[in-house]
Structure 1
């Protein structure tokens, strides 16, 4: 049986400040075989890992990511908002995460955050960074911006892509073919066993998000999804060992 990928959502974000190196390292300690993260672009074009378009929620700064240089972003405290013991954690670059995982077998899901802010050449910069580490076969690029995924495939057809969507997409495996995507990164409520089978028959896999409840995890494991995105990689790791999946 093919091992279900245990994607740690923004790292081990249930126990560490999201999208920080401490969260990524903790995820690996807790049994994650994949890491999901979000990438945006600083004012000077450098790639920074952060979910929100602004730094307000997860740092002690204020304003848009796009208005900071990377060096300025590095000076922000990205840990104490979560817990005082994490004070001093910073927002990392994409390079830092790839360096951490380069010599492991970890699959990296990079979500391009370019739905609200259209970062120029974000796709080119992300792909160039992936290629510089020789990790093309270990990456899945996802986005709610499906035009961006088409662009990624045109630049790097060898890198897998996953369409992010919520509920109600009709025959998503057929739609995935129109954008040459490899995976469906669906909201957990938009995943049924018969859809998983149909998608698989069409060469498309499911990586649902964000699955934190053990019973929901069990349902998806039995339904044979290819990966699960969770804030609790330890919980999923335990279940996968029990189920032998």
Structure 2
């Protein structure tokens, strides 16, 4: 029941007053649709774990999300440029090795999801 879950999430972040600091992500387009219907101003990210192209994945939504969030291994210069043209942020997951983090930073992704934020912070401090 995406609508019921979305209502709980939106009510919670509303009550905490943190809407402007949240990026809500889901692999499920129905969940993102339910969240968007409740609050079109929410920052939403489509998590992607398939080999479909960006247009196909974004076509599963009736709106343009704030962010597109694929596995980092599929990210290249062309994807970064394409999403910039669409004015959609690129947030990659799950980047745990420093060399992969460095590559994502060099590509200019907008966000990195990691199990090791300490490693990422160290790298960013060196930049």
Q: Normalising by structure 2, report the TM-score.
A: 0.90
Aligned to 1:236: 120
Task: Work out the number of aligned pairs and report it.
Answer: 126
Q: CA deviation at 1:179?
A: 3.5
TM-score with structure 1 setting the length:
0.48
* Structure 1 residue aligned with 2:39: 156
Q: Structure 1 residue runs of 4+, over 4 Å off?
A: none
Q: Deviations over 1:16-40 (max 9, x none)?
A: xxxxxxxxxxxxxxxxxxxxxxxxx
Q: Does 1:171 align with 2:54?
A: yes
Match of 1:197 among 60, 72, 81: 81
| Residues 222 and 185 of structure 1: CA distance in aligned 2, closer, same or farther (over 3 Å) | same
Q: Tell me the alpha carbon deviations over residues 75-133 of structure 1, each in whole angstroms, 9 at most, x when there is no partner.
A: xxxxxxxxxxxxxxxxxxxxxxxxxxxxxxxxxxxxxxxxxxx4660000100110111
User: Is residue 101–residue 120 contact of structure 2 (8 Å, CA) maintained in 1?
Assistant: yes
Q: CA deviation at 1:241?
A: 1.0
The 8 Å contact of residues 141 and 161 in structure 1, kept in 2 or not, is answered as yes
- Compute the RMSD of aligned alpha carbons: 1.9
The match for 2:110 is 226
Return the offset for 1:174: 7.4
Looking at secondary structure, tell me which structure has more helix per residue.
2
Superposition pairs of residues 41-120 of structure 1, within 5 angstroms: 118=1
CA apart distance, 1:219: 0.5
Q: The residue matched to 2:87 in structure 1 has which SS? A: coil
- Alignment partner of 1:181 is 2:65: yes
Indicate the structure whose relative CO is greater, using CA pairs within 8 Å and at least 6 residues apart: 1
Tell me what 2:9 maps to: 126
Distance 1:145 1:174 in 2: 11
Structure 1 unmatched ranges of 5 or more? 1-117
Instruction: Tell me how far apart the structure 1 counterparts of residues 68 and 121 of structure 2 sit (CA, whole Å).
Output: 21
| Alignment gaps of 5+ in structure 2 | none
- Structure whose alpha-carbon radius of gyration is higher: 1
The answer on whether the counterparts of 1:166 and 1:187 sit within 8 Å (CA) in structure 2 is yes
**What's the CA shift string for 1:191-235, capped at 9, x where partnerless?**
112211210121101111100011110010011101100011010
CA distance in 2, matches of 1:199, 1:228: 15
Which of 8, 25, 29 is residue 146 of structure 1 equivalent to? 29
Mark the CA change 1:119 to 1:181 in structure 2 (over 3 Å): closer, same or farther. closer
